[in-house]
Amino acid sequence: MTAHPLVERLMTLLGPDHVLTDPGVMQGYTLDWTRRWSGVALAVVRPADTAQVAAVVLACSASGVPIVAQGGNTGLVGGSVPAVVPGAGGPPVILSTRRLTRLDPVDDVSGQVTVGAGVTLGDLHRYVAHQGWEYGVDLAARDSATIGGTVATNAGGIRVIAHGMTRSQVTGIEAVLPDGSVVEHLAGLAKDNTGYDLAGLLTGSEGTLGVITAVRLRLHRPHAPSSVALIGVDTWDDALHLLHAAVRHGVPLLAAEVTDETGMELAMRCASLPWPLETRHPLVLLLEIADGGEGGGFVPQVLDGRDVVVGLDAGERARLWAYRELQSEAFSSYATEVAGGAAHKLDVSVPLPKLAEAATVIRERMAGYPGVKAFGVFGHLGDGNIHVEIVGPAPDDEEVDRRVLEAVGAFGGSVSAEHGIGRAKVGALHLSRSLAEMSAMRAIKQALDPRGIMNPGVLLADRVAP
């Protein structure tokens, strides 16, 4: 059978080993982590460097074939796999960045490093740790999620309370734009007011404006050894009260996470873990503090009279973190087990003073929704960011998502705190962004990608087929 002319061209550019067309082999790239989103690709290409990425983009652009940039494929909103968009130029080429693994020497004076988009978060952590540095973004998918993917989604994670989101770490970027041009601004200057901030624009752009090939990142000196406490709490207000007490008393917080009882039970079931506290509680708060690892940083106002367990060494800390880190996986495996499908995963944020009320309203909206077999909430309490997991409704049931997202919009929250809009929330963007903002975003997209070849159906699409 004759190959598609673009596929032949891509094979010439990259060599046949790095252009995949076998549907079985491509499945790991066309089905997303949640198993809720999938798509059809013309081919998967694996360029080795920026020049090859530019060549692929030019070839696709010349053929009018769309491109989906993909890193670790751990995104949770369907943005990393092809969407079906009528009139968008046929099945896209998936451009895997996993071979872009450049790791430059750490600049000890500025505390920065330049890395390829395909380096995983875990590999970056290990690389800089050997040289006495730490990278400020961390999340449970660290061993698969790539730097390019975390920048493209402006990932949050478990250290936002200490270091901010990914955008705060990015000091420079290299990317291939839809016309094949390479923008490279990697000096990482502390002061640089020379016009539009392309690094800031591409951060959080979800593959819709170009392919990020390398990033310059800010590093931190490692924090003091830490202590972790799991604390049983009965209400969201009580959890927030404890968090405020910790902040008020100057506790050096590294993380403040919360998991509800359903999530705790599913994590226990998923990894055969025991309940970690004396008694059951509706919520379990995890606080990690940089106190030298002696637990002495937990002031009495936070722990006294509480059902609590504290971990001081690396093994204990990991044991206590496991309940929280297993959440997404635990809901997904329960969904496969009882519903034969995928869990609905909604990542939202609301202003902290409204968090307790919002959590109650969302729970009420889910109560009695047809087919819900499990419902749970966990997340980054310190950031007002909760992840809502719903097991039971069919993967294409958008009404259940809408009920949650509309409640969030009514509380002045964000329909996407850290995972992005992807395909999953295209129809909900207006709940968090004004018409004027959306029209400014469309103008940027139109200017950089007039033919709409970069990740069609994601973020700004007017219409996406399921």
Ligand X SMILES: Cc1cc2nc3c(=O)[nH]c(=O)nc-3n(C[C@H](O)[C@H](O)[C@H](O)COP(=O)(O)OP(=O)(O)OC[C@H]3O[C@@H](n4cnc5c(N)ncnc54)[C@H](O)[C@@H]3O)c2cc1C
State the nearest-atom distance from the C-beta of 119 to ligand X, in Å: 10
| Binding of ligand X by 150 (CB under 6 A) | yes
Quick one: which of 205, 202, 204, 199 has its CA closest to 187?
199
Longest dimension (CA), the chain: 73
Burial 145-159, CB ≥16 within 10 A → b, else e = bbbbbbbbbbbbbbb
Quick one: which of 415, 405, 396 has its CA closest to 362?
405
**Which residues in 163-225 belong to E strands, given as ranges?**
170-176, 182-185, 211-220
Taking contact as CB under 6 A, which single stretch among the options 19-27, 85-93, 144-152, 179-187 is the one that binds ligand X? 144-152
State the nearest-atom distance from the C-beta of 426 to ligand X, in Å: 12
Quick one: which of 449, 438, 423 has its CA closest to 210?
449
- Lookup result for tokens 């990259």: 14
Burial 340-353, CB ≥16 within 10 A → b, else e = ebbbbbbbbbbeee
State the nearest-atom distance from the C-beta of 326 to ligand X, in Å: 8
Contact pick of 212, 283, 302, 346 for ligand X (by CB under 6 A): 212
Give the footprint of ligand X on residues 81-110 (CB under 6 A): 97
| Binding of ligand X by 419 (CB under 6 A) | yes
| Binding of ligand X by 141 (CB under 6 A) | yes
Q: At 403, which helix (H) or strand (E)?
A: helix 398-410
- Give the residue with the Cβ less far from ligand X, 171 or 416: 416
| Binding of ligand X by 148 (CB under 6 A) | yes
The 10 Å Cβ neighbour count of residue 292 is 14
- Give the residue with the Cβ less far from ligand X, 89 or 148: 148
- Give the residue with the Cβ less far from ligand X, 61 or 73: 73
- Give the residue with the Cβ less far from ligand X, 308 or 415: 415
Give the strand pairing for 43-45 and 93-96.
parallel
State the nearest-atom distance from the C-beta of 2 to ligand X, in Å: 30
Residue pair 202/152 in contact (Cβ under 8 Å)? The answer is yes
Taking contact as CB under 6 A, which single stretch among the options 16-24, 42-50, 204-212, 369-377 is the one that binds ligand X? 204-212
Contact pick of 66, 207, 232, 384 for ligand X (by CB under 6 A): 207
Residues at the contact surface with ligand X, assessed by CB under 6 A? 33, 68-76, 79-80, 97, 117, 139-141, 145-146, 148-150, 152-153, 155-157, 206-207, 211-212, 328-329, 418-419, 455, 458
